[in-house]
Structure 1
């Protein structure tokens, strides 16, 4: 179960993701290793086709990995004792410490926007009483597979795309994923910078101007900026103005 406040904050994030330098990494699915079957550092590197050349980098990654494994084991023990509702496992990022993870994967891009006035702040506080303490989209039929933005700084596109898909689930009662790649390629006209990062605000401005968004199956994600498509048929001429008004108070 995810607190609603956390959902709103997650939707509002825009980031830049740097490429992984001085190392060889072959992309693989980041499905966590099963709990209770945690790998050694050496087998982890082999499983994810990672290779570090510089000695200090090997030591840093190994120390981070072992620290993360200890945290996973502690957490999963709590899960087995009924103190937690979920299990943890090793995935592609298990050899990153918090500092390196934030540097490579969670670099924010600021946008120029007006400050929130006192009336809007009061309205937000007044509306908080009508919000549930938590929300699990799976209970509403919104179940999707794992996704990986790879080394493209496209979290702004994923945030908005899945927010729209959530609205489609509510309105049409079916899961219909929309194109993150369209947002990466085309929202540069509104101020985003493709794989170099972007923001929720600029992405919504782009959608408001173009009038809709394509299905993910028709315009799939590549993890890189592709050729801009100027002429396409919009799959969902969604009511972007309504969507934007529903989140504008958190951006």
Structure 2
């Protein structure tokens, strides 16, 4: 398993994640997933991911960010080889972003209006979590067959749809014993009626509210992802 240098995304029920301006700033081949074995310089990185920056004066900032990320990746992987870490890191399409720019472009959060949780209900949930059970010390769902393919939301701000759809797929897998992907595109197209904004972003709360109202979700194979709003 490989992770890239950068920020770990945490999705919160009350958060709103919006579309970045990546399409306005640069062009890249979003479907390519090259290996990082031959990416040893900024030029080789640009070639591997077919990146072209439309605003010339930002190239130097991207180059500096890439070189720092490459150093962090090399340092971390050395610790992996020495047995000091349990996972490797590698280059991906975000390797030319520093943490500040990554958060600005990819983690666009806003608060959504929602009812505060009742204190008594909150206490009950915390108490239930502390109740002794027969839960195992650890659990790796990959060993039980829940291995999903890499996914790319591309330039559509649909993180809310990916988060909810994969959570549902995990529940289906636990129930029937095999992976059945559900439609992210349905959530992008249809949950606008409960407050989401298609490729301009949305929240997990609004997405779950839509699913509660519509009563179901289609399979991904029947309603595939297009990285754009496909209905008006």
Q: Same fold (TM over 0.5)?
A: yes
What are the superposed Cα offsets for residues 186-216 of structure 1, whole Å, 9 maximum, x if unpaired?
Answer: 0001111000111111111111111111100
Q: What are the residue-to-residue correspondences of 1:171-182 with 2, within 5 Å?
A: 171-182=175-186
State the shift of 1:53 in Å.
Answer: 4.7
Residue 7 (structure 2) aligns with: none
* Structure 2: distance between partners of 1:120 and 1:112: 19
What SS is found at the alignment partner of 1:198? strand
Stretches of structure 2 that go unaligned for 5 or more consecutive residues are: 2-9
**Which of these residues, 16, 26, 29, is aligned with residue 26 of structure 1?**
29
3-state secondary structure, aligned to 1:222: coil
- Deviation, structure 1 residue 126: 1.7
Residues 133 and 198 (structure 1 numbering): CA distance in 2 closer, same or farther, change over 3 Å? Answer: farther
Following superposition, which runs of at least 4 residues in structure 1 exceed 4 angstroms of deviation? 130-135
* Deviation for aligned residue 1:32: 5.1
Asked if the contact 1:152/1:223 (under 8 Å) is kept, the reply is yes
Across the two proteins, how many residue pairs are aligned to each other? Answer: 220
Relative to structure 1, is the Cα distance of residues 134 and 99 closer, same or farther in structure 2, using a 3 angstrom cutoff? farther
Contact 1:28-1:48 within 8 A present in 2 as well: no
Which residue matches 2:4?
Answer: none
Find the counterpart in structure 2 of residue 95 from structure 1: 96
For residues 94-243 of structure 1, the aligned pairs below 5 Å read: 94-129=95-130, 135-227=139-231
Shift, 1:103, TM fit? 1.1
Q: Distance in 2 between matches of 1:207 and 1:32?
A: 37
- 1:30-54 deviation per Cα after TM superposition (whole angstroms, max 9, x unaligned): 45524xx542100100111112254
Query: Is it true that 1:81 corresponds to 2:82 in the alignment?
Result: yes
Distance 1:110 1:66, change over 3 A: same
TM-score, length of structure 2 as denominator length: 0.87
The alignment's C-alpha RMSD in Å is: 2.2
